[in-house]
């Protein structure tokens, strides 16, 4: 009996240790080093749920529907927006100007919506008057990467890659490229998304980037280039906030850092929404975002502040992007005949059979409200562009970017009782085992991780059922 008892105790201890190891492996890693400084938007904090939504869409065949865009808090347009109007045309591609015009269309409907535009952080794009000038005027020749002997790179590489070892370029990048009147210098533009803002190649293997091989950069050259790009971006971020009342996508947190947040890739921004398994103690980091940190951590002073409440926080609408991509098949702006048929879900009047809806959207919204601070957004980044004559592999019938009907800022995002106002509780509380609650001015938000039920109760009504 004694030997059997000891074996059972040892086996139980080993089992417990193994379980704890599995739990540890399944949890999101705590915050690590930051590539960019924590920089908050220059506009006042707000708690309006509709204004706490964010998306990054575009429409190939024409302007993206400005009414739909205006229903979000932040809308960040991709470079390819309105692409069919200029792609493969003899005239220079005016997409930089088009992005400002798209912003004007949105602002005409809602000046409250923050409209952002795309900027490539490794070379001059999107194309427009400014890009054409800098690529063709000899006075800017030193802004571009060349061979070590000073001659131009071949073919398509010529005058396409900035050389951030040039201090004059660093200043120009922040003050003109980002600060100019086709970007945050325009009163119509409230921010920018910087693409490829993470250096040349992977940090430990710079030759991973083709341009490194082509330009014959040494590891020391790559290090200086990367340092210069980072300096230029931080300058642009600070100038945007200080001088232009604007902000940058890369200032949202959490941001994945290589070597710390694997498998979440370099520079990916945002924390995934919870499912029932990750609700309480969190879930693993994924290829498309940090894992949900768990309400046990988020409803604490220190850890909850570091991971969500005291940072400019982005929470993805998805729990697992790869598994849920079928729920985001496209966004039919219906600006040209055929768009609705090819790019819009049947439920929204189109011809695309869309995958199942997000059945636990209320639980995800509840988790967002429980954990959020003054500056927080719920949504997602680039999911593709809509356009009936452009297909993308991996998307249902070639369609792209469709918000789930359950996450319509003009509908479900108003919740049961509209917006709840400011929180009365600075931090969410675990009111009983696995059940979390936070009181707002108008509603009480509650999420039961055990039963996976969310409640949005009017403060004078504690009888309404959960969902």
Instruction: Give per-residue pLDDT as tens, 303-346.
Output: 999 999 999 999 998 898 877 765 554 443 444 445 455 555 56
Residue 408: pLDDT band by 50, 70, 90 thresholds?
Answer: low
Q: What is the pTM of this model?
A: 0.85
The pLDDT score that the predictor gives to residue 15 is: 39
pLDDT per position as a tens digit, 203-226 = 545 556 788 888 999 989 999 999
Q: Give 386 or 134, the one with higher predicted confidence.
A: 134
Would you tell me how many other CB atoms lie within 10 Å of the CB of residue 156?
A: 7
Whether 462 has a pLDDT exceeding 70, the answer reads: no
Of 174, 162, 169, 255, whose CA–CA distance to 211 is shortest?
162
With 70 as the cut, is the pLDDT of residue 361 above it? yes
Residue 140: pLDDT band with limits 50, 70, 90: very high
Region of poorest pLDDT, from 80-89, 174-183, 243-252, 449-458: 80-89
Average pLDDT, the chain: 82
> Which pLDDT does position 173 carry in this prediction?
97
pLDDT at 399 (0 to 100): 37
Average confidence (pLDDT) over 440-465: 84
Higher pLDDT, 262 or 438: 438
Decide which of 71 and 38 is more confident.
38
Question: What value does the mean pLDDT take over residues 390-394?
Answer: 42
Q: What is the pLDDT of residue 202?
A: 56
Q: Which of the pair, 59 or 100, is modelled with greater confidence?
A: 100
Burial of 20 by CB count in 10 Å (0-12 exposed, 13-18 middle, 19+ buried)? exposed
Looking at residue 75, the DSSP 8-state letter turns out to be E
**Does residue 354 carry a pLDDT above 60?**
no
Annotated domain spans of the chain: 33-414
| C-alpha to C-alpha distances, 217 to 142, 148, 153, 258, nearest whole angstrom | 16, 8, 12, 22
Is the Cβ–Cβ distance between 225 and 164 less than 8 Å?
yes
Evaluate if residue 42 carries a pLDDT over 60: yes
What separation in angstroms does the CA of 314 have from each of 2, 310, 311?
55, 12, 9
pLDDT at 358 over 70: yes
Q: Bigger pLDDT: 278 or 89?
A: 278
User: Is the pLDDT at 450 greater than 80, yes or no?
Assistant: yes
For 239, how many CA atoms within 13 A lie in the half-sphere containing its CB?
Answer: 21
* C-beta of residue 382 within 8 angstroms of C-beta of residue 77: no
Q: Report which of residues 272 and 6 the model is more confident about.
A: 272
Beta strand spans in 360-467 (E): 376-382, 429-432, 435-439, 443-448, 453-458
Q: What is the mean pLDDT of residues 27-42?
A: 91
Listed residue (372, 377, 376, 375) closest to 304, CA to CA: 372
Residue 16 has pLDDT above 70, yes or no: no
pLDDT of residue 14: 40
The residue among 258 and 278 whose pLDDT is bigger is 278
Mean pLDDT, residues 117-123: 94
Sequence-ordered alpha helix ranges (H) in 55-145: 66-69, 95-107, 129-136
Q: How many C-beta neighbours within 10 Å does residue 229 have?
A: 25
Contact between residue 397 and residue 329 where contact means Cβ atoms under 8 Å apart: yes
């Amino acid at each position: 009996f004694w030997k059997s008892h000891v074996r059972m105790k040892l086996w139980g201890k080993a089992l417990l240790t193994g379980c704890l190891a599995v739990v540890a492996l399944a949890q999101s890693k705590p915050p690590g080093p930051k590539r960019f400084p924590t920089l908050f938007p220059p506009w006042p904090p707000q708690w309006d749920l509709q204004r706490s939504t964010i998306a990054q869409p575009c429409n190939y065949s024409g302007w993206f529907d400005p009414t739909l865009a205006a229903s979000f808090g932040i809308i960040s347009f991709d470079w390819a927006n309105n692409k069919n109007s200029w792609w493969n045309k003899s005239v220079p591609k005016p997409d930089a100007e088009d992005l400002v015009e798209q912003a004007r269309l949105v602002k005409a409907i809602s000046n409250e919506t923050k409209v952002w535009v795309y900027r490539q952080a490794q070379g001059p794009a999107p194309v427009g008057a400014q890009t054409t000038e800098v690529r063709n005027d000899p006075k800017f020749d030193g802004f571009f990467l060349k061979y070590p002997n000073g001659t131009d790179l071949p073919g398509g590489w010529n005058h396409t890659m900035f050389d951030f070892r040039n201090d004059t370029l660093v200043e120009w990048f922040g003050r003109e490229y980002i600060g100019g009147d086709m970007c945050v210098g325009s009163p119509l533009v409230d921010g920018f998304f910087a693409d490829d803002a993470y250096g040349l190649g992977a940090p430990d293997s710079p030759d991973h980037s083709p341009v490194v091989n082509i330009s014959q950069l040494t590891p020391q050259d790559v290090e200086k280039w990367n340092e210069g790009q980072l300096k230029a971006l931080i300058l642009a971020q600070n100038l945007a906030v200080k001088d232009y009342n604007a902000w940058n996508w890369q200032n949202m947190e959490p941001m994945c850092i290589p070597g710390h947040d694997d498998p979440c890739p370099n520079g990916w921004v945002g924390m995934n929404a919870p499912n029932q398994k990750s609700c309480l103690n969190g879930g693993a980091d994924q290829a498309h975002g940090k894992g949900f940190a768990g309400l046990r951590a988020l409803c604490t002073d220190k850890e909850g502040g570091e991971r969500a409440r005291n940072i400019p926080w982005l929470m993805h609408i998805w729990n697992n992007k790869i598994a849920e991509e079928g729920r985001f098949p496209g966004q039919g702006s219906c600006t040209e005949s055929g768009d609705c048929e090819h790019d819009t879900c049947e439920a929204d009047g189109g011809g695309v059979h869309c995958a199942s809806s997000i059945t636990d959207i209320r639980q995800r919204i509840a988790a967002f409200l429980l954990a959020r601070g003054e500056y927080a957004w719920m949504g997602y980044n680039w999911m593709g562009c809509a356009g009936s004559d452009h297909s993308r592999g991996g998307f249902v019938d070639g369609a792209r970017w469709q918000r789930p009907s359950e996450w319509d800022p003009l509908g479900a995002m108003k919740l049961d009782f509209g917006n709840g106002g400011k929180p009365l509780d600075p931090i969410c509380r675990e009111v009983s085992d696995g059940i979390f609650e936070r009181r707002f001015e108008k509603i009480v938000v509650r999420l039961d991780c055990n039963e996976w039920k969310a409640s949005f109760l009017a403060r004078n009504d504690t009888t309404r059922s959960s969902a």
